[in-house]
Structure 1
Amino acid sequence: MSTTSSTDRRVLGISPRIIVAGLLAGAAAASGVALTTTSGWLIVRADQRPQILLLLTAIVGVRTFGLGRPVFRYFERVRSHDAALDVLARRRAQTYADLVPLTPARLGRRGRADLLTGVVDDLTDVTEAPVRFTVPVLGALAAGAVATTLTASLVPAVGAVLAAMLLVCAALVALCYRLESRSQARVLAARSEVVRVGHLTARHAGELQAVGGQDAALRWLDDAHDELRGRLLEQSQGRALVSGGVLLTTVGATVASAYLAVGSGVSSPVQALLVLAPVATGEILGVLTDATRALARATAGQDRLDTLLAQEPAVVDHDVDEDAAHALVRSGRTPALQLEQAVARWSEGRPAVGPVDLVLEPGEHVALVGPNGSGKTTLLSVLARHLELTSGSYLVDGRDARELPAHAVRSLFAVVDDEPHVFASTLRNNLLLAAGPPPSDAGSTSPDPDAEPASTGPSDEVLLTSLRRAGLADWLQALPDGLDTRIGTGGHGISGGERARLAVARALLSQRPVLLLDEPGAHLDHPTAQAVIHDLLTAASGRTVVIVTHHGVGAEQVDRVVDLTREKVA
């Protein structure tokens, strides 16, 4: 079985709840077809002025079908959306859990905005596919079968016309899927470029203004938007072609049904019913173009997620000592760390760092300095067990790190990068996300920032203490709702310095014995960066702290400075 077929089956999301939702959608669509055709019969029959009793059945039918359509539609929406939201919650948790072991070594050169936007959008497209494609298609098939059976029982030739109409529309849907799938990759590439350029120009707006590069940045944005506009136009032309084809097919089926109905010898009211049947059926088939677009987006999204998550992690456990790891984590002490002739690389080619000899004593505060490309960030990834050594050794409390489970070693480290992420949620949830479970449960953290706080999580006083120790006491007092204040997108604004201090508060809250900070003063003015590092080192007394600093910010506050431009450091 091909990968594409397997992907399509997963994207369709066939389950008992989705099937039930599809049947409810079919009942709603069939009620719409019955409402239209019965109304046509009733109007023509009423024009013949029969006794009112002869019309009561049709009148009741019109009312029943008119009420049935919204009622069935309501229950279909409840059923299908409940299933989709359940899948979305589970898929998000599983995807984030699968993504963590790949960070950062297997994420390539994709920017954070591109990666986060891509994963979130792809997951959304995949989980919405059952609602946007499977349910409408099941509903259209069910309603089309009912309409075909009804008309065939009256005039078989008209039933054959409706069957042919369904087959032609199925071919058009297949064409629409092919056109959408073919252009989907180009559209997403253009959209990704817009996100990348927009993020780049917004992030470096100050630098661009300083060198007079605003006009060039605007040209980059214009070019990216022009490319996206062209790709979307190309995609929409195929969709318009298919939509027009469905409409023309409906017109042709209606004309053919009218011709056959007139020559069939049935009564005028029945002729009206037969003529209106293709019209009503065409209305329910009209949604298939958008449904097919949703399938194409979901299939492409699933393929991208599979490609991303199918990679082998950079660090894989082999013959590890779980007992030793358990004892190390449970001891609660700050470990001694030692690198001997350590060499590491992100991909094939020259090493990104090394060979390096480095000893970090428990509780020592060290600054890593060196020019761009000297391997400072890579060295942090090696220490945090996010990247395997190409050669050399890495000892954690005298034990080879490769003899310990990766999750156990990682549970000793709190990593703060130069662009700490703030979730669009409450301040409390942003902090609880960093707290996570106890170290012994590493790897089972909940990735949802809006999830209800666990009853065993840190108390509010502990959260407040971490904020004060990070130098955010005054900022906290100014928040309108304290820990319940929403921050990030759509919430309370947060400056670069406040974001950096919030990242420090998370690191302190984690209670992990080793803190690794990659340019904590990046994008901050010198006094603010110095203050952030001072508060961090003061609060992290007794913990090992390793700070990467490109411009030497905070280097005078640490116990030792390590220059990676030297061949060996100790």
Structure 2
Amino acid sequence: MNRTNRTNRIVRVDRRLVVAGLLGGAASACGVALTATSGWLVVRADERPQIMLLLTAVVAVRTFGLGRPVFRYLERLRSHDAALADLARRRAETYARLVPLTPARLGRRGRADLLTGVVDDLTDVTEAPVRVTVPLLGALAAGVLASVLTAALEPAAGLVLVAMLLACAALVPLGHRLEAASQDEVLQARAEVARVAHLATRHADELRAVGGERTAAQWLRDAHGTLRRVVVRQARGRGLVTGAVLLVTAAGTVGCALVAAASDVPPPVQALLVLTPVATGEALGVLADAVRALARSRAAERRLDAVLDQAPAVRDADAADAAAGDVLAGARRAPRLELRGVTASWTAGRTHLGPVDLVIEPGEHVALVGANGSGKSTLLAVLARHLDPVRGRYLVDGRDVAELPAAAVRSLVAVVDDEPHVFATTLRENLRLARRPDEPAPEDEQLLLALRSAGLGDWVAGLTGGLDTRLGTSGHGISGGERTRLAIARALLSERPVLLLDEPGAHLDHPTARAVLADLMSAAAGRTVVLVSHHGTGVDLAGRVVELDRPTTREKVAAHA
């Protein structure tokens, strides 16, 4: 996607935002008018005229005082309504574009890190109209109205205000350049702080065992020091804009004061002319925050494009047989899986698997073992059709997957990996997401049966809220073993005929991991199960063990259960 399109997405303005900007301008104009009219009223009242001559000004002060919060409320209502609607639409579009990239094009970033980054970047992009367009429109509208007002009373004062607006407008690109120059460095520094903090806390026991606490603490201090330096450097843009707006406002106020002093207008009008640039400067104070939001949104847009504009590792061929895919997906039975001379790669120029010849019969339980780097996880990705072979053929019930829609093959497979994700919601909702939106939602009895099959019967019985217990953040804590069993329950609940397990007990002690796998193998009778084991846990529970070697792989039957 070219640069122009990216920029257009950031600054795209719809009618609701234009209206919101005008409402914001009305609110700012009311603030300017309130300050100017109040000054006129105070000076005029000091002349002790008849009270009837002040009633119009008194009513105007009250009107402007009430108008500012009312217009500001309406502006917030319109702008946030537009931003939230755009955020919902963009999130759906972004997640739809992320799915084909998973997992081959998402790099080495952790899922939580990736999801958090995408959510934050998308929020920055969709908030840009509210934080940039609306404030700038409001400031412009208020500045134009103030200039017209003062020019009507004293043309020279109007010119001073116009010069003040032009000077502030010139600060925007300069402040943006300074703010944007360090944006990527700030994000990298924050990511490094998070990485080091996570490393130190996760491996605190190991660090204490080897006396590495001081070294880890120094890593963290260094990371924070780098973050502090780049944040201070980035803040110069905001500081420059904020300080310059104040200086320009002061200069405008002095200029209007000189014009008013040399003018023959009445003293109340002179007070109005002097106070108008002060109030206008307050309306222009939004420029610093707008510059920051613009820099953040542009950087966020670049990061999103870097992820989303990649070519998927798996693509449906133009001649993909949709009808055959529907038949395969609708059968809901374990298919025959066959790899013929398959090689696969996550990145161009390197071979991470194969060549491999392997046949997995329907309902067979197979364990994959081998040295690190032999391609066990890569083989699972090929079977799940998260990665297409570079060479060779992958057949499902005798049909080459290249001739079938990717969604049809994926609908047969449930994947349980070594870091299953638990969402910060209820236990029931964590389980129900195992079914597709077009499938009937599982009943509570089905959910409980899946939990019992995964060995969580006693655990769920001990929850005070049962299936309504909230898990994760601000909810019920969940251990590594419980998290793994919950992922297994989801896989079983999905009713998909092929289960792919990538070391689901990696972070568990051996007895717990073996118990988890034993429960799974028992509950998955009749389904095809392919287990990757890096440490040999649960291998004896499989019906067949396949050893992968590198660089050339041929099936070796290492043991039979």
Q: TM-score range by the shorter chain?
A: over 0.9
Give the direction of change, closer, same or farther, for the CA distance of 1:363–1:426 in structure 2 (3 Å limit).
same
| Distance in 1, Cα, partners of 2:210 & 2:454 | 34
Gaps of 5+ in 1: 440-455
Worse-superposed segment, 214-223 or 282-291: 214-223
What displacement does 1:248 show?
0.3
Residue 389 of structure 2 corresponds to residue 426 of structure 1? no
| Distance in 2, Cα, partners of 1:30 & 1:75 | 14
Letter in 2 for 1:392: G
Equivalences for residues 156-305 of structure 1 within 5 A: 156-305=155-304
Worse-superposed segment, 394-403 or 467-476: 467-476
| Distance in 2, Cα, partners of 1:428 & 1:171 | 55
1:568 matched to which residue of 2?
554
2:458 matched to which residue of 1?
474
What displacement does 1:116 show?
2.0
What displacement does 1:209 show?
4.1
1:518 matched to which residue of 2?
502
Letter in 2 for 1:511: E
Letter in 2 for 1:465: L
SS in 1 for 2:225: helix
Worse-superposed segment, 313-322 or 482-491: 482-491
Residue 392 of structure 2 corresponds to residue 392 of structure 1? yes
Give the direction of change, closer, same or farther, for the CA distance of 1:241–1:13 in structure 2 (3 Å limit).
same
Question: Does the aligned pair in 2 maintain the 1:369–1:376 contact within 8 Å?
Answer: yes
Deviation readout 1:309-347 (Å, 9 max, x if unpaired): 010100111121111111111112110101111111111
1:324 matched to which residue of 2?
324
What displacement does 1:520 show?
0.4
| Distance in 1, Cα, partners of 2:215 & 2:359 | 46
| Distance in 2, Cα, partners of 1:432 & 1:229 | 44
SS in 1 for 2:371: coil
Equivalences for residues 403-418 of structure 1 within 5 A: 403-418=403-418
SS in 2 for 1:348: coil
Give the direction of change, closer, same or farther, for the CA distance of 1:200–1:80 in structure 2 (3 Å limit).
same
| Distance in 2, Cα, partners of 1:21 & 1:481 | 44
| Distance in 2, Cα, partners of 1:407 & 1:457 | 20
Equivalences for residues 74-89 of structure 1 within 5 A: 74-89=73-88
CA-based RMSD of the aligned residues comes to 1.5
SS in 2 for 1:392: strand
Give the direction of change, closer, same or farther, for the CA distance of 1:305–1:162 in structure 2 (3 Å limit).
same
Question: Does the aligned pair in 1 maintain the 2:241–2:287 contact within 8 Å?
Answer: no
Gaps of 5+ in 2: 557-561
* Aligned with 2:492 (options 492, 508, 526): 508
| Distance in 1, Cα, partners of 2:383 & 2:173 | 52
SS in 2 for 1:435: coil
What displacement does 1:389 show?
0.7
1:370 matched to which residue of 2?
370
Residue 69 of structure 2 corresponds to residue 70 of structure 1? yes
Residue 365 of structure 2 corresponds to residue 338 of structure 1? no
Question: Does the aligned pair in 1 maintain the 2:177–2:237 contact within 8 Å?
Answer: no
Tell me the percent identity: 66
SS in 2 for 1:425: coil
| Distance in 1, Cα, partners of 2:11 & 2:208 | 48
Deviation readout 1:418-448 (Å, 9 max, x if unpaired): 1111111222222222222357xxxxxxxxx
| Distance in 2, Cα, partners of 1:188 & 1:458 | 42
What displacement does 1:221 show?
2.2
Give the direction of change, closer, same or farther, for the CA distance of 1:3–1:355 in structure 2 (3 Å limit).
closer
Worse-superposed segment, 283-292 or 106-115: 106-115
What displacement does 1:220 show?
2.4
Give the direction of change, closer, same or farther, for the CA distance of 1:340–1:4 in structure 2 (3 Å limit).
closer
SS in 2 for 1:287: helix
What displacement does 1:381 show?
0.5
SS in 1 for 2:434: helix
Equivalences for residues 479-558 of structure 1 within 5 A: 479-558=463-542
2:559 matched to which residue of 1?
none
What displacement does 1:226 show?
1.5
Letter in 2 for 1:548: V
1:128 matched to which residue of 2?
127
Give the direction of change, closer, same or farther, for the CA distance of 1:212–1:390 in structure 2 (3 Å limit).
farther
Worse-superposed segment, 167-176 or 274-283: 167-176
What displacement does 1:291 show?
1.3
Letter in 2 for 1:222: R
Residue 9 of structure 2 corresponds to residue 7 of structure 1? no
What displacement does 1:207 show?
4.0
Question: Does the aligned pair in 1 maintain the 2:179–2:236 contact within 8 Å?
Answer: no
SS in 1 for 2:182: helix
| Distance in 2, Cα, partners of 1:551 & 1:527 | 13
What displacement does 1:460 show?
2.0
Question: Does the aligned pair in 2 maintain the 1:114–1:192 contact within 8 Å?
Answer: no
What displacement does 1:182 show?
1.2
Letter in 2 for 1:190: A
Kindly tell me the number of residue pairs found equivalent between the two proteins: 553
Equivalences for residues 304-323 of structure 1 within 5 A: 304-318=303-317, 319-323=319-323
Deviation readout 1:202-239 (Å, 9 max, x if unpaired): 44444444444333333322222211111101001221
Letter in 1 for 2:554: K
Deviation readout 1:177-204 (Å, 9 max, x if unpaired): 1111111111111122222333333444
Question: Does the aligned pair in 2 maintain the 1:13–1:129 contact within 8 Å?
Answer: no
Question: Does the aligned pair in 2 maintain the 1:517–1:546 contact within 8 Å?
Answer: yes
Worse-superposed segment, 394-403 or 223-232: 223-232
| Distance in 1, Cα, partners of 2:253 & 2:259 | 10
Question: Does the aligned pair in 1 maintain the 2:238–2:291 contact within 8 Å?
Answer: no
Worse-superposed segment, 413-422 or 215-224: 215-224
Give the direction of change, closer, same or farther, for the CA distance of 1:555–1:205 in structure 2 (3 Å limit).
farther
What displacement does 1:13 show?
4.0
Give the direction of change, closer, same or farther, for the CA distance of 1:204–1:569 in structure 2 (3 Å limit).
farther
Give the direction of change, closer, same or farther, for the CA distance of 1:5–1:256 in structure 2 (3 Å limit).
farther
| Distance in 2, Cα, partners of 1:372 & 1:201 | 25
Equivalences for residues 6-45 of structure 1 within 5 A: 6-45=5-44
What displacement does 1:9 show?
2.6
Please list every run of at least 4 consecutive aligned residues from structure 1 whose deviation after the TM superposition is greater than 6 angstroms: none
Letter in 1 for 2:362: P
| Distance in 2, Cα, partners of 1:167 & 1:459 | 65
Worse-superposed segment, 40-49 or 507-516: 507-516
Question: Does the aligned pair in 2 maintain the 1:113–1:199 contact within 8 Å?
Answer: no
1:452 matched to which residue of 2?
none
Letter in 1 for 2:102: T
| Distance in 2, Cα, partners of 1:90 & 1:485 | 30
Letter in 1 for 2:411: S
| Distance in 1, Cα, partners of 2:247 & 2:395 | 73
SS in 2 for 1:393: strand
Question: Does the aligned pair in 1 maintain the 2:178–2:236 contact within 8 Å?
Answer: no
